[in-house]
Amino acid sequence: MAPTLAQLLTPQTQQQIFQLLLAYYQAAGYPTTAWPQFGNDVARNQAFAQALFDVLTNYIPAIAGGSLLDYAPNYPGWTQLTASEIFGLPVNLATFTQGYILATNTSSTAYNFSPTNQLIATFQASTNRYLSQGTGTIPANSTLLILFQAEFAGASYVDPSNANPSNSLPTALTLVTPLPGVWLNNPSTNFSSVTHVGNGTGSLTLGGSPVGSHSIEIDVTATSTSAPASLSYKLDGAAAVSLGSVSSVTNLAGLGINITLVNGASGTSWVNQDTYSFSTPASWISSQGANIEADPALAARSRARWASLSPIPTMNLYALLAQSTPNVGAQVTQVFVVPDPNINNKVNVVVAGPGGILPGPTITLIQNFLTPFRRGTDNPVVSSPTTLGITIAATIYGAASQAAAIQAAATTAYNNYVASIAVNGTIKLSDIEVLTKPNPLTGLGGIQGVSDIQNLTINGAATNLILGGPGSFVLPAYPPTLNLSYIFQ
């Protein structure tokens, strides 16, 4: 009887195989009952069993499951082989993080760097190292913004902005080979670039001193040849709030954000239902590095390959294209394709990466790759999810002798937890409690020295926080605000 797939995928132990082999000998009438314990027959057949074990355990399950996308990720190498040879999709290779670091030179000596004389910057917290790109000179008594690239490809290069906000304690971001008088910082900028969707020729100029981490969408609510224009705004994906008919906005939502409407050179500047989106602040990272495409993601992309057979675009076609964008496809670890609920044939392609929101230039690259493949009257628009500021508040009880360690561990644990939440994920009270309080029975897990956590809230409520919903895509802003009070005994 032919074996089932389940049987083929089930590895056997060496002992099981030895017993099976023995059964063949017994069935054939070969004497097997009087073998000395350490005799040749036992040794030889155990050696056979070892070789057969290798075949039955390592090869037959892989051969059976290797070309099935559901199982291939269980067998190293098979998903890439299947994707490449059957679906025609090479794996997305790992990419390097790039970003701009500001070098401030307080000395009277200029310093040169080049590909053969690269500057190496290190973030002390992560020990991640970045290498300067290109050639340049840091002028004496001046500054230079330098493009750095991660030493290795991968998603772990997600160091936060503003490591050294001043040179009073310039140790968080340093040069491996110090240059006398030079200190580094990786400043965030106040605003991301503005993503405009629609046909209006107008644009927005942003200014002010924004407070906090937010995503903002400005919607045009009535067509107008020139400003003033009727606008509304959505803060962090919340409901729209009317701004009335305006030419500029000062201190939007009390967040210190100023907006000036700039009319287009010609045409209608402000068109009903056009949207303008931006976020604040913008990371120092200009291109987020990604790991090599994981096998489950490659399997999913392979399935989506089928959609490319049809002349009519379906959801999976745009997902496939977004994740196959040359050089940056690996950065797209999450993609959602949803028809727009308001505009005919507009298709929202919402993408996010391993570090959350992808940099603006990456979004542009994906859009530029996808646009030529759009079909019919489709209008696929690539965008990032909105972000929602997260505040975690709690009272943590712990041992006074470990006070500093507890506070540091809590900050790290909560930051990492929020960073791990996917688009439209759920931030759970129970997860935070497990991260905080060691298991009362085993003493394992949690933060050592913590005895209890109380008054835990997420964004002011003692309930789980569910992000987003149908048609809206939300990521938690990073890092979260931590309002933690400690009682040490």
Partner 1 sequence: MSAPNPSPYKTWWQQVVGAAIPWLAGGVNGQAEGNAWPAFLDYLLTLLIAARYQAYPDYCAPDALTHLAGDRMLVQGPSETNANLITRIKTAWGNSPITLPPTQTGLPAVQPGGPSSGWALAGTWLQLLEELYWGGFGGDNSGGSLIHAPVIVQQNGLADYLTGIPTAGADNRSVWASAATAVLPGPIVSSVNTFRTIPAGNSWFWFDGNTDLCSRFAIIWPTAPATYPWSTALLAQLQKLITTWRPNAVCYGAFVVTAGRTWDWPVTTWDGYGGNWDSPSTVVQVLQPF
For the bound state, the minimum distance from the C-beta of residue 296 to partner 1, rounded and expressed in Å, comes to: 13
Count of positions on this chain that bind partner 1 (CB under 8 A): 58
Site for partner 1 in 316-375 (CB under 8 A): 316, 318, 337-345, 347
For the bound state, the minimum distance from the C-beta of residue 190 to partner 1, rounded and expressed in Å, comes to: 35
For the bound state, the minimum distance from the C-beta of residue 311 to partner 1, rounded and expressed in Å, comes to: 8
For the bound state, the minimum distance from the C-beta of residue 37 to partner 1, rounded and expressed in Å, comes to: 20
The answer to whether residue 265 forms part of the interface with partner 1 (CB under 8 A) is no
Nearer to partner 1, 252 or 370 (CB): 370
Extract long-range pairs of 62-69: CB within 8 Å, 24+ residues apart: 64/5, 64/8, 64/9, 65/5, 65/8, 65/9, 69/299, 69/302, 69/303
Residue indicated by tokens 């309002």: 483
DSSP 154: S
The answer to whether residue 312 forms part of the interface with partner 1 (CB under 8 A) is yes
For the bound state, the minimum distance from the C-beta of residue 481 to partner 1, rounded and expressed in Å, comes to: 33
The answer to whether residue 48 forms part of the interface with partner 1 (CB under 8 A) is yes
Token couple for 5 = 């797939």
Q: Are 287 and 95 in contact (CB under 8 A)?
A: yes
The answer to whether residue 468 forms part of the interface with partner 1 (CB under 8 A) is no
For the bound state, the minimum distance from the C-beta of residue 5 to partner 1, rounded and expressed in Å, comes to: 4
The answer to whether residue 43 forms part of the interface with partner 1 (CB under 8 A) is no
Nearer to partner 1, 178 or 311 (CB): 311
For the bound state, the minimum distance from the C-beta of residue 349 to partner 1, rounded and expressed in Å, comes to: 10
The answer to whether residue 25 forms part of the interface with partner 1 (CB under 8 A) is yes
Give me the sign of the Cα torsion angle 443, 465, 389, 290: positive
The answer to whether residue 398 forms part of the interface with partner 1 (CB under 8 A) is no
DSSP 419: H
The answer to whether residue 4 forms part of the interface with partner 1 (CB under 8 A) is yes
Which of 11, 16, 19, 24 touches partner 1 by CB under 8 A?
A: 24
45 vs 18, 37, 42, 54, 167, CA distance in Å? 7, 12, 5, 14, 72
Binding span for partner 1 by CB under 8 A among 190-198, 305-313, 417-425, 438-446 = 305-313
For the bound state, the minimum distance from the C-beta of residue 221 to partner 1, rounded and expressed in Å, comes to: 12
N- to C-terminal Cα separation, the chain: 69
For the bound state, the minimum distance from the C-beta of residue 347 to partner 1, rounded and expressed in Å, comes to: 4
The answer to whether residue 307 forms part of the interface with partner 1 (CB under 8 A) is yes
Would you list the DSSP string of 162-229? -S-SSTTSTTSEEESS--TTEEEE-PPBS-PPPEEESS---EEEEEE---S-EEEEEEE-S-BSSSSE
Extract long-range pairs of 403-408: CB within 8 Å, 24+ residues apart: 403/486, 403/488, 405/448, 405/449, 406/447, 406/449, 406/450, 406/486, 406/488, 407/484, 407/486
User: Residue type at 80?
Assistant: Q
The answer to whether residue 270 forms part of the interface with partner 1 (CB under 8 A) is no
The answer to whether residue 47 forms part of the interface with partner 1 (CB under 8 A) is no
Regarding beta strands 391-398 and 481-488, do their DSSP bridges make them parallel or antiparallel, or are they unpaired?
Answer: parallel
Binding span for partner 1 by CB under 8 A among 154-162, 180-188, 203-211, 310-318 = 310-318
The answer to whether residue 83 forms part of the interface with partner 1 (CB under 8 A) is no
Would you list the DSSP string of 352-405? EBTTBSPPHHHHHHHHHHHGGG--TT-EEEEEPPEEE--EEEEEEEE-GGGHHH
The answer to whether residue 155 forms part of the interface with partner 1 (CB under 8 A) is no
Binding span for partner 1 by CB under 8 A among 67-75, 211-219, 357-365, 393-401 = 67-75
The answer to whether residue 309 forms part of the interface with partner 1 (CB under 8 A) is yes
For the bound state, the minimum distance from the C-beta of residue 271 to partner 1, rounded and expressed in Å, comes to: 13
Kindly provide the b/e burial profile for residues 393-406, where b requires at least 16 CB atoms within 10 angstroms of the residue's own CB: bbebbbeeeeeeeb
The answer to whether residue 167 forms part of the interface with partner 1 (CB under 8 A) is no
Binding span for partner 1 by CB under 8 A among 54-62, 170-178, 199-207, 445-453 = 54-62
For the bound state, the minimum distance from the C-beta of residue 7 to partner 1, rounded and expressed in Å, comes to: 8
The answer to whether residue 470 forms part of the interface with partner 1 (CB under 8 A) is yes
Q: What is the C-alpha to C-alpha distance for residues 359 and 284, in angstroms, rounded to an integer? A: 9
The answer to whether residue 430 forms part of the interface with partner 1 (CB under 8 A) is no
Binding span for partner 1 by CB under 8 A among 119-127, 142-150, 299-307, 354-362 = 299-307
What is the biggest distance separating any 2 CA atoms in the chain, rounded to whole angstroms?
A: 101
Residue indicated by tokens 């990521």: 475
Chain center to CA of 473: 14
For the bound state, the minimum distance from the C-beta of residue 465 to partner 1, rounded and expressed in Å, comes to: 22
Token couple for 429 = 């009270």
The answer to whether residue 422 forms part of the interface with partner 1 (CB under 8 A) is no
The answer to whether residue 34 forms part of the interface with partner 1 (CB under 8 A) is no
Q: Are 195 and 278 in contact (CB under 8 A)?
A: yes
Binding site for partner 1 (CB under 8 A): 2-6, 8, 20-21, 24-25, 27-31, 45, 48, 52, 55-56, 59-61, 63-65, 67-71, 302-303, 306-307, 309-316, 318, 337-345, 347, 378, 380, 470-471
